[in-house]
Chains A and B, each alone.
Chain A
Amino acid sequence: MNYKQLLAFFSFFFCINHYKAQAQVLTQEDSLYAGLISKDQKTVLSGYGEARYTVNTKRKTATASLSRVVLFVGHRFNHKISLFTEMELEDALVAGQSGDEDASAKGGISMEQAFLKFNLNPTTYLVAGLFIPRLGIINENHLPTTFNGVDRPFVEELIIPSTWREIGVGLYGTIKNIPGLNYSLALTNGLNAENFTSGSGIRKGRQLGSQAGGLGIGASGSLLYYIHNFRLQASGYIGGSTALERRVADSLLLDSGPFGNPVLLGEIDGQYTNKGWNVRLLAAGISIPKAFEINRAYANNTPNAIAGGYAETSYDVLYPKHKGAKSLLVFGRYEYMDLNASVPVNGIQNDANRQQYIIAGFTFKPIRGVAVKADYVQRITGEPNPALIITPFPQQVPYFKSNGFINLGVSYNF
């Protein structure tokens, strides 16, 4: 090999390696350093969770559970478009799994939110995907360090029913000439009336982004107003509940259009916060005008109307010294709901669905983002309808019209 051939060989070798260097896979850090990715991009991790221990004083039993651990992952593509996701694991172990832990598994895993947010301007944005429409207080504001009591308010679990998320689009913004006034409008898929039950309202009819069926549409809207020390809100929802194709719906004599067998929900709420005091009031109601038709199809004892509300007062005894940075909230709450305020002629009234909850306790926050809770819940209901009791004595689980629960809980948010 002469020197020209040697020079050619080394030149060829150099070119090959230079090409390989340009084709190498860059990590995200390399790409960022090379300016290949916009400096606007940012990925954020956060989350919340809670654990609880509950004693049922009448039945002499207790439940301990890691109620939920939620992981939030958000990503900012640019200053106009962001991604928000929340994944939730309830009760530590997913039911139905195989392995040596299967016997204890009673939980589930789900997506609580996964949507893209498009900023139209600094105060107006669109969301699209699986999101939580603005209804009630807890539906959006459900982090355990932001409400009193180990349990979420029962009215907001059984009537609203939080957290209620569906697939759709939403528009959020402010009213230009009225400082503090915010609005929201949302279009989502509808409910599934087949899963309505007498004792849980429309809660089990949520489709939650899991292959929601039917042509049903849910339309909701809210006005949220901040003025002085008040937060005031009114919201409403109307949605179809026939999650079936028309052929099947027709065979069951059910309307199958976007608002077939509609569910109407309305709520108003108000909060007052000042110098450690907080007062919350909420009233909500549901109307299901076609409950007769739903019962005829599914025999699930759907009511015509549901109504309820609650009032809560709390005071932060550490506020004079710590101004909320560390807090010890003492609270009391009264809740009332009637899950079958009105039933159709083919429904069965059950006085056990008329419920009152008297709750008192405290929430200690050594720092913001961490809460230790303890409360006592007295649940008072009407007499269960014996016609609805399937399991005869002595196998029937005893029911107590008045029952007390002692709750202890820890929660975090970061």
Chain B
Amino acid sequence: MKRRNFIKKGCAACAGLAGLSFLLESCGSSLPIFKTTPEKKLLFIPEDKFTADNHHLLVRSKELENDILLIKNKNDYTALNMKCTHEGFALTVTDKQIVCPAHGSTFDFSGHVTKEPALRPLTTFTTEIKNNTIIIHLP
């Protein structure tokens, strides 16, 4: 294959992928990300970061290897480490479940394994609510 043909076809493929991404963008809304810094192994997230429509929030910090998925339940919050318990790859959140793109493990929103190869549930962090602020306790 000549270099010019490869470049033409490569550019066409990239344009096609970009177009596909644009189309797929209309299929769902992005998960909000809240960036913060731990203070003495505690993360503070204002409750008003959750809306009536959105019960999931990703908490991100430069000090942490992985995001934390914060889930608003009826009366409390669940904080799950977004690190697959199989080989430690980062997890992806969908509307139905938490998935590992690397090897196919899936978890429910309680952190329990629903499909292997992961065998152990996700690490869960303790949470509490004080003065309209969610506090995540890091180990």
Contact = CB atoms under 8 A, between A and B. Distances in A.
Interface of A: 44, 46, 48, 72, 74, 76, 79-80, 82, 84, 119, 122-123, 125, 140-141, 143, 145-146, 172, 174-182, 221, 223-229, 231, 236, 238, 259, 262, 273, 289, 323-324, 368-369, 413-414
B12 interface: no
Interface string B56-96: 00001000111100000000000000100001111011111
Nearest to A324: B114
Interface stretch (B25-33, B43-51, B125-133): B25-33
B123 to A, nearest CB: 13
Q: Please list the 6 inter-chain residue pairs (A to B) with the smallest Cβ-Cβ separation, ordered nearest first.
A: A79-B65, A182-B101, A180-B94, A141-B104, A177-B30, A122-B67
Contacts of B64: 79, 122
A179 B95 contact: yes
Nearest to B58: A122
Query: Which residue among B89, B94, B114, B115 has the maximum number of chain A CB atoms within 10 Å of its CB?
Result: B94
Interface in B86-138: 87-90, 92-97, 99, 101-104, 106, 113-117, 119
Given A143-B117, A226-B99, 8 more contacts: A122-B90, A140-B104, A178-B30, A179-B92, A179-B94, A180-B28, A223-B17, A228-B95
A122 B96 contact: no
A122 B66 contact: yes
B24 interface: yes
Given A178-B30, A224-B101, A259-B1, A413 B116 contact: yes
B94 A176 contact: no
Contacts, number: 118
A285 B95 CA distance: 32
A369 B115 CA distance: 10
B42 to A, nearest CB: 18
A226 B6 contact: no
A80 B90 CA distance: 12
A120 B38 CA distance: 20
Main secondary structure of the interface of B (DSSP, over half): loop
Contact of B92 (A79, A226, A368): A226
15 contacts: A44-B87, A125-B89, A141-B117, A145-B116, A146-B103, A177-B30, A178-B24, A178-B28, A180-B95, A180-B99, A181-B24, A223-B17, A225-B24, A226-B99, A238-B1
B37 interface: no
Nearest to A233: B101
Given A122-B60, A228-B96, A413-B116, A84 B87 contact: yes
Interface residues of B, number: 41
A146 B115 CA distance: 8
A119 B65 contact: yes
Given A140-B102, A224-B101, A227-B94, A145 B117 contact: yes
Contacts of A368: 113, 116, 119
A369 B119 contact: yes
Contacts of B31: 179
Contact of A140 (B27, B30, B96, B103): B103
A119 B27 CA distance: 28
B88 A178 contact: no
Nearest to B102: A140
A84 to B, nearest CB: 7
B117 A122 contact: no
B52 interface: no
A24 B51 CA distance: 59
A368 B102 CA distance: 18
Given A146-B104, A324-B115, A262 B1 contact: yes
Contacts of A238: 1, 6
B36 interface: no
B62 to A, nearest CB: 9
Nearest to A177: B30
A225 B95 CA distance: 12
A119 B24 CA distance: 26
Contact of B90 (A125, A178, A369): A125
A179 B117 contact: no
A281 to B, nearest CB: 16
Contacts of A82: 88
A123 B90 contact: yes
A42 B123 CA distance: 16
